[in-house]
């Protein structure tokens, strides 16, 4: 009778017929009084979302003190009810030291610990707790498995309490106790709790050899699991080893070539290397294979923003908001769309909504901070970026953005510290190298600044980035050449900037200034006319033009060439005119013809960065990037 009811209960549970499982499970426990039946009844209640009832059953039967499996389930029920302190009392604050005393937890000796030995015996009696089959592991292995799972729960609680250092230690302990505790490993990698170097060192410390005993296949399973874990690591370091792992996996198991997780790891590598087009293509493949794979969407949205795909962002955001309103990433998509089209207040509202739904959603915090940065609210932006930096300790982006904000506040020392911290994590981001070049420029380290700007442009070319996204970096390089007296190289840089159809008065003012320094006032006059056509009230352009006119008027050979063009008459008709008359005429010629000149919008190149140009009065004329998202 009892065995028949157990099989009936288990069959109903496997079919998700929970009412049936609860009805007969309750009768079975009343008949037998067996703790195992009480545990399975608690399992069914947990699966239906009745966490308090499941916890009550475990506590009433006194199972928590007898079995690691019951202790784990009771703590998980409390976590689901947000009773974190109560759950921590069941789990304990620290990992039991004996579990970490040996490199291989499977070799732990319980012989000298009578209480622990008795508990392992109970785990053996509870052999069917894990899977409901007759082929479970022995009691010791089952106990170790649940001890690792409880370490994972400790880390989860510490994350909820914003104690990320303790959480990191707990997740690492869980993986060391049981290398098959992938949940803990994934928390470490997904939330960037470790630096890239720490991730690789941690992977090497894991005991994959313990899998050989279980699989008994000559190490093939252990090797494959290690390769799969490798694909989850940060892509900032050792990209060759990552690519080797992916190739080895696909070679051993060709079916993995279209696996969404493998494709996502390849997309992450492309994004880390700023290859946004390649990353976008991979994301499109993943979404086509599994449109409900929410883990890919933050990366997908970032690529769409970088490539300025406004229409696609609109469609994705609408689809996500309509079909998945309970997912934080849906409102992240809406926020990214509004940020891309320049509606900052709307973007902030939806980024805030996503962060409220999931307070540990780092992408939402970064987007939220971008909205303040876009409006020049530096203090609030710094506060939001600092929160993202605490959540994403293993990525360089929050540190980069903090450095950019301090650079705009003229806090050069703080900016330098944040940017070098970011450089220690990622040394292949052109935006980071550009910002470091600006810091070096402000410190008068011009030769090093030139090196940084050139390196940024080289990397941008290697990754096939949009050239228009890096005109500001090229302009910065031109300013650095100007400061060290390399005037021809500076003019070449600015010529490439103007060739990219960039209409910026400061660029033409810089060309005019360099031309004056090179003793070519006529070239300066032409450049400054362009500057005044863009910004008629620019005081720098007006002052430089006045100086250029005076120098040009002082050269007899220049006078005959200059006046026909300005006056629009024959050379023979030109008599000696005063400088005041010439200046008045130039002023009339450079005045905009009507209201159309005021309708000109500034450059709209906003794929990855937009930049502002400082005035020549700073003698820096540098363009400092402002990340929009």
pLDDT at 523: 87
Taking the chain (629 residues) in runs of 10, the rounded mean pLDDT of each run is 88 92 89 83 92 89 81 93 93 78 44 43 46 48 85 93 90 92 92 86 89 70 91 87 91 91 92 86 94 93 93 95 94 96 94 92 92 92 90 86 93 93 86 93 92 91 75 90 90 87 83 88 88 88 87 59 40 42 49 37 34 40 41
Which own/partner pairs from 70-76 qualify as long-range (CB within 8 Å, at least 24 positions apart)?
70/35, 70/39, 70/42, 71/146, 71/150, 72/146, 72/149, 72/150, 72/153, 73/39, 73/42, 73/43, 73/46, 75/150, 75/153, 76/46, 76/153
Domain extent for 569? 507-594
The predicted pLDDT at position 138 comes to 55
Distance separating alpha carbons of residues 415 and 405, to the nearest angstrom = 8
Give the pLDDT of residue 555: 61
Check residue 203 and give its pLDDT.
92
The reply to whether 560 falls in a domain is: yes
Q: Structure tokens of 118? A: 């008795």
The number of folded domains in the chain is 1
Residue 533 lies in a domain: yes
Strands, E, within 16-87: which ranges? Answer: none
Would 518 be classed as within a structural domain?
yes
User: What is the maximum alpha-carbon separation in the chain?
Assistant: 122
Domain annotation covers residue 513? yes
| Cα–Cα separations (whole angstroms), residue 187 to 155, 325, 330, 490, 508 | 9, 24, 21, 49, 51
Q: According to the model, what pLDDT value does residue 438 have? A: 94
In a domain, 65, yes or no: no
For residues 447 and 455, the answer to whether their CB atoms sit within 8 Å is no
pLDDT of residue 584: 55
User: 90: how many CB neighbours lie within 10 A of its CB?
Assistant: 23
Q: What is the DSSP string of 406-456?
A: HHHTT-HHHHHHHHHHHHHH-S--HHHHHHHHHHHHHTT-HHHHHHHHHHH
Q: Say what the pLDDT of residue 274 is.
A: 78
pTM reported for the whole predicted model? 0.75
pLDDT in the model for residue 122: 45
Token digits for 583?
Answer: 């200046």
Q: Does some domain include residue 571? A: yes
- Whether residue 535 lies inside any domain: the answer is yes
Of the candidates 332, 334, 304, 301, which has an alpha carbon nearest to the alpha carbon of residue 317? 334
Question: What pLDDT does residue 214 have?
Answer: 62
For 157, residues 6+ apart whose C-beta sits below 8 A from its C-beta are 79, 84, 87, 88, 91
Residue 558 lies in a domain: yes
């Amino acid at each position: 009778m009892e065995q028949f009811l157990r099989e009936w209960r288990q069959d109903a549970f496997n079919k998700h017929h929970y009412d049936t499982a609860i009805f007969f499970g309750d009768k079975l426990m009343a008949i037998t009084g067996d703790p195992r039946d009480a545990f399975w009844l608690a399992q069914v209640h947990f699966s239906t979302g009745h966490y308090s009832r499941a916890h009550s059953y475990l506590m009433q039967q006194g199972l928590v003190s007898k079995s690691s499996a019951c202790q784990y389930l009771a703590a998980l029920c409390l976590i689901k009810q947000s009773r974190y302190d109560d759950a921590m009392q069941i789990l304990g604050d620290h990992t039991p030291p004996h579990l970490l005393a040996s490199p291989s937890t499977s070799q732990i000796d319980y012989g000298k610990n009578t209480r622990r030995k008795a508990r392992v015996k109970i785990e053996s009696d509870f052999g069917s707790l894990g899977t409901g089959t007759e082929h479970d592991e022995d009691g010791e292995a089952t106990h170790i498995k649940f001890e690792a799972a409880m370490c994972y729960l400790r880390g989860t609680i510490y994350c909820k309490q914003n104690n990320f250092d303790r959480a990191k230690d707990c997740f690492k302990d869980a993986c060391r106790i049981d290398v098959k505790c992938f949940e803990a490993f994934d928390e470490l990698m997904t939330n960037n709790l470790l630096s890239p170097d720490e991730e690789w060192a941690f992977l090497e410390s894991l005991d994959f050899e313990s899998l050989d005993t279980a699989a008994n296949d000559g190490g093939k399973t252990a090797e494959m699991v290690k390769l799969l874990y490798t694909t989850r690591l940060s892509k900032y370091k050792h990209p060759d080893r990552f690519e080797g792992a992916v190739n080895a996996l696909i070679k051993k198991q060709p079916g993995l070539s279209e696996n969404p997780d493998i494709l996502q790891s390849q997309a992450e590598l492309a994004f880390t290397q700023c290859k946004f087009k390649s990353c976008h293509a991979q994301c499109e493949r993943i979404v086509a294979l599994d449109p409900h794979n929410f883990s890919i969407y933050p990366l997908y949205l970032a690529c769409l923003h970088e490539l300025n795909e406004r229409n696609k962002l609109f469609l994705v955001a609408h689809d996500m908001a309509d079909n998945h309103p309970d997912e934080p990433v849906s409102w992240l998509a809406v926020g990214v769309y509004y940020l891309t089209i320049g509606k900052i207040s709307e973007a902030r509202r939806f980024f805030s909504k996503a962060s409220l739904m999931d307070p540990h959603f780092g992408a939402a915090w970064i987007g939220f901070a971008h909205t303040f940065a876009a409006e020049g609210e530096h203090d609030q932006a710094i506060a939001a970026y600092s929160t993202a930096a605490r959540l994403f300790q293993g990525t360089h982006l929050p540190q980069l953005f903090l450095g950019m904000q301090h650079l705009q506040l003229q806090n050069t020392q703080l900016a330098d510290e944040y940017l070098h911290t970011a450089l220690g994590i990622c040394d292949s981001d052109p935006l980071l190298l550009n910002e470091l070049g600006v810091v070096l420029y402000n410190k008068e380290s011009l030769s090093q600044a030139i090196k940084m700007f050139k390196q940024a442009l080289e990397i941008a070319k290697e990754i096939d980035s949009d050239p228009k996204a890096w005109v500001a970096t090229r302009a910065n390089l031109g300013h650095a050449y100007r400061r060290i007296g390399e005037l021809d190289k500076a003019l070449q840089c600015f010529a490439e900037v103007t060739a990219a159809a960039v209409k910026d008065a400061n660029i033409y003012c810089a060309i005019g200034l360099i031309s004056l320094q090179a003793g070519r006032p006529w070239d300066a006059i032409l450049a400054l006319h362009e500057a005044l056509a863009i910004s008629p009230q620019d005081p720098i352009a007006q002052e430089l033009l006045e100086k250029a006119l005076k120098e040009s008027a002082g050269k007899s050979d220049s006078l005959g060439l200059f006046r026909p063009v300005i006056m629009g008459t024959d050379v023979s008709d030109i008599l000696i005119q005063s400088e005041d008359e010439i200046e008045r005429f130039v002023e009339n010629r450079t005045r905009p013809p009507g209201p159309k000149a005021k309708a000109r919008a500034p450059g709209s190149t906003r794929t990855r960065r937009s930049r502002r140009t400082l005035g020549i009065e700073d003698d820096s004329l540098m363009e400092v990037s402002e990340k929009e998202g």
